[in-house]
Amino acid sequence: MTTISAETRVDEAVDRLLSDFPPDRTPDVEFWGEQFDAGLAWVHFPEGDGGLGLAPSFQRRINSRLREAGASQDNISRNVIGYGMGAPTVATHGTEEQRQRWLRPLFTAEEIWCQGFSEPGAGSDVAGLATRAVRDGDEWVVNGQKVWTTLAHTSRWVMLVARTDPDVPKHRGITYFIVDMDQPGVEVRPLRQITGEAEFNEIYFTDARVPDAYRLGDVGDGWRVALTTLMNERVAIGLTALPRGGGAIAEAIEVWHERQLDDDYLRDELMKLWVEAEVARLTGSRANELLQKGTPGPEGSTSKLHWAELNKKITNFTVDLMGAEGMLLPGGYPFVRPEAAGLGRVSRQRGFLRARANSIEGGTSEIMKNILGERVLGLPGEPRVDKDLPWREIPR
Ligand SMILES: Cc1cc2nc3c(=O)[nH]c(=O)nc-3n(C[C@H](O)[C@H](O)[C@H](O)COP(=O)(O)OP(=O)(O)OC[C@H]3O[C@@H](n4cnc5c(N)ncnc54)[C@H](O)[C@@H]3O)c2cc1C
C-alpha cells in the first residue's frame, strides 16, 4: 500500500477543485460550497466538517493557491468572525447535528456570524457579564445588552454568552448559545467609530428565544467554550499571514518613496519598524506552524499584543511622514455600516485611525500582558477577590 503525503493530498484536492469548478466560471457561493465539501475550508477540521484532519498550517498553502487561481476569498473577509472564531468553536464543542447545521453556510458566507460577549459592564472581565438566559421548557429566554458587536448588522447568528446561574461564582454560571438574530426580540443599533464607520453595534435582547438545541456545551460550562472563541480570536488577529514587507509597513515604505524622503533619522526609524514587522511576521509564521489541532494556547495572545502595538506605531509613523496631509481625512467622515470589518482602509489616514482599536479589540494590550505574565512567564497572578463569590454578590 502506498501512502501519500499530506502535502500531496492537499495539492491533489486543490487541483481537483480548480479543474471541476473553475473559479472564473463558477458562482462564488457554489465554489465556496465545493471548497467546503472538498475539505479545504478549514483543513485541520475533521472530514465532513470542511476539513481533511491535517495540520492547520496547510490552510495557508490552500488559500494562496486558490487566490492565485482567481478564486474569491470574500467569504472570509465578510464573515471574518464566523470564519476565525465561530467555526473553531462549533467544531470543538458542537454536536454532529450542530456542525452539520452551521459550518457550511458559515463558510459560504450565506450566514454571517458575530460575537456577543462584551457588555457595558463586562469587557476585559467578560466573565462578569449580566445578560440573563432563563430556561423555559425546550427553550431559553434571553434578556440583556451586548456592546461593540462587530458586524451584528449583517449577521444571522450571534455567539452569545449569558448568565444562567447567578448563585455560583461568575465563571461557573455562564452558558454559551448560538442565537438566531432574525427574531423580534433582537435589536441591533449601530455604534459609530473614530473613522466615521459603524463596524460594530449594540445588541438588545428582550425576551429573545433560543432553543436548547442551540446551546454549545453544557449548561454552566460556557466559560470553557468561550475560551475557545477568545483564543481563536487572538490567533485570528495576531497570526494573520502577511507577505514579507506587507501590511502596514508597506504603506510606510510607499509614502517614503512617493515623497522621495531623504532624512537619516527618518530612514533609521523606518528601518527599525521594518525589522520589527519582519520579526513579528516570522514569529507569527513560526507560531502558526506549531499550532496544532484544538484550542490554541497563549502564543496567540503574545502575537496579538505585539501586532497591535506595532501596527499602531507604524501607522503613527506613516501619517507623520505625510506631514500636514496626514492630518486630513480624505472622503470626510461619512456614516457607513460596512460589510466587512477592519478593512475599510480607503486611505492611510483612515488606517491610522482604525489602528487605534487594535490594542482594545480582541482583548486589550494590558490583558494580553497579564496572560503573558501569568501563563507564559509563570509570574504570580493578579489578586482576584471575587473569584469564589456568587456572581449575585459581586458589587456592580
Ligand atoms: C474595533 C472593536 C471591535 C470589537 N468587536 C467586538 C465584538 O465583535 N464582540 C465583542 O463581544 N466585543 C467586541 N469588542 C470589545 C472588546 O473586546 C472590549 O472593548 C475589550 O475587551 C475591552 O473591554 P472594555 O471596552 O469594556 O474596557 P475595560 O475592560 O473597561 O477596560 C478599560 C481599561 O482598563 C484596563 N484594564 C481592565 N482590566 C484590567 C486588568 N485586569 N489589568 C490591567 N488593566 C486592565 C484595560 O486594558 C483598558 O485600558 C470590540 C472592540 C473594538 C475596539
Any idea which residue has 493557491 for its cell? 65
> Is the residue at 389 inside a domain?
no
CATH of the domain at 173: 2.40.110.10
Same domain, 65 and 137: no
Same domain, 308 and 350: yes
CA distances from 200 to 75, 191, 340 (A): 19, 6, 10
Whether 218 is in the pocket of ligand 1, judged by its Cβ within 6 Å, is no
Same domain, 122 and 189: yes
Supply 137's cell numbers: 421548557
Give me ligand 1 centre to Cα 362, in Å: 7
Whether 195 is in the pocket of ligand 1, judged by its Cβ within 6 Å, is no
Same domain, 230 and 362: yes
**pLDDT category of residue 236 using cuts at 50, 70 and 90:** confident
For residue 163, the SS3 value is: strand
For residue 300, the SS3 value is: helix
- What pLDDT score does 293 carry? 53
> Is the residue at 394 inside a domain?
no
Whether 133 is in the pocket of ligand 1, judged by its Cβ within 6 Å, is no
> Is the residue at 43 inside a domain?
yes
> Is the residue at 391 inside a domain?
no
Q: Which residue has the higher pLDDT, 168 or 247?
A: 168
Same domain, 140 and 49: no
Same domain, 203 and 230: no
Q: What is the mean pLDDT of residues 185-196?
A: 95
pLDDT digits (tens, 9 = 90+) for 11-47: 999 999 999 999 999 999 999 999 999 999 999 999 9
Same domain, 305 and 205: no
Same domain, 191 and 122: yes
CATH of the domain at 66: 1.10.540.10
pLDDT digits (tens, 9 = 90+) for 355-368: 999 999 999 999 99
Q: Ligand 1: which atom is nearest the Cα of residue 152?
A: 8
Same domain, 123 and 201: yes
pLDDT digits (tens, 9 = 90+) for 119-178: 999 999 999 999 999 999 999 999 999 999 999 999 999 999 999 999 999 999 999 999
Residue ranges of E strands in the chain: 113-116, 132-136, 139-146, 157-163, 174-180, 186-191, 200-211, 215-216
For the chain, give the number of residues. 396
| Of 391, 305, 316, 303, residue with least CA distance to 356 | 316
Same domain, 365 and 256: yes
**Rounded Cα distance, 131 and 387, in Å:** 19
Q: What is the DSSP string of 314-375?
A: HHHHHHHHTGGGGG--TT-------SSSS---SSHHHHHHHHGGGGTTTS-HHHHHHHIIII
For residue 174, the SS3 value is: strand
Supply 24's cell numbers: 472564473
Phi, psi (deg, nearest 5) at residue 243: -70, 160
CA distances from 236 to 229, 248, 301, 331 (A): 10, 17, 10, 30
- What pLDDT score does 343 carry? 54
Side chain identity at residue 68, one-letter code? E
Whether 200 is in the pocket of ligand 1, judged by its Cβ within 6 Å, is yes
CA distances from 166 to 6, 201, 216 (A): 48, 26, 19
Whether 123 is in the pocket of ligand 1, judged by its Cβ within 6 Å, is yes
Query: What mean pLDDT value characterizes the chain?
Result: 93
> Is the residue at 202 inside a domain?
yes
- What pLDDT score does 396 carry? 82
**Rounded Cα distance, 25 and 168, in Å:** 56
Q: What sign has the CA pseudo-torsion 380, 128, 152, 348?
A: negative
Residue 294 has pLDDT above 60, yes or no: no
Q: Which of 220, 242, 270 finishes a domain?
A: 220
Residue 4 has pLDDT above 80, yes or no: yes
**pLDDT category of residue 345 using cuts at 50, 70 and 90:** low
Q: Whose CA is nearest to atom 31 of ligand 1?
A: 124
Torsional class of 67: left (φ above 0), alpha (ψ -120 to 50), beta (otherwise): alpha
Domain count, the chain: 3
Give me ligand 1 centre to Cα 249, in Å: 26
Give me ligand 1 centre to Cα 226, in Å: 15
Within a 13 Å sphere around the CA of 168, how many CA atoms are in the beta-carbon half? 12
pLDDT digits (tens, 9 = 90+) for 39-96: 999 999 999 999 999 988 899 899 999 999 999 999 999 999 999 999 999 999 999 9
**pLDDT category of residue 206 using cuts at 50, 70 and 90:** very high
User: Does residue 187 have an active-site annotation?
Assistant: no
Whether 49 is in the pocket of ligand 1, judged by its Cβ within 6 Å, is no
**Whether the Cβ atoms of residue 92 and residue 228 lie closer than 8 Å to each other:** yes
**Whether the Cβ atoms of residue 177 and residue 162 lie closer than 8 Å to each other:** yes
**Whether the Cβ atoms of residue 132 and residue 145 lie closer than 8 Å to each other:** no
Same domain, 271 and 138: no
C-alpha triplet 24, 27, 29: angle, nearest 5°: 130
**Rounded Cα distance, 54 and 335, in Å:** 43
> Measured between alpha carbons, how far apart are the two ends of the chain, in Å?
65
- What pLDDT score does 56 carry? 86
Mutate to test the pocket of ligand 1, among 80, 230, 345, 364 (most ligand atoms within 8 A of CB): 364
Full domain range(s) for residue 325? 226-376
Same domain, 127 and 269: no
Mutate to test the pocket of ligand 1, among 118, 301, 343 (most ligand atoms within 8 A of CB): 118
CATH of the domain at 298: 1.20.140.10
**Whether the Cβ atoms of residue 49 and residue 97 lie closer than 8 Å to each other:** no
| Of 362, 303, 306, 364, residue with least CA distance to 85 | 362
Identified catalytic residue from 197, 199, 233, 361:
233
> Which residues make Cβ contacts (< 8 Å) with residue 84, sequence separation at least 6?
232, 233, 235, 236
- What pLDDT score does 283 carry? 83
**pLDDT category of residue 301 using cuts at 50, 70 and 90:** confident
**Rounded Cα distance, 47 and 91, in Å:** 11
pTM score of the predicted model: 0.94
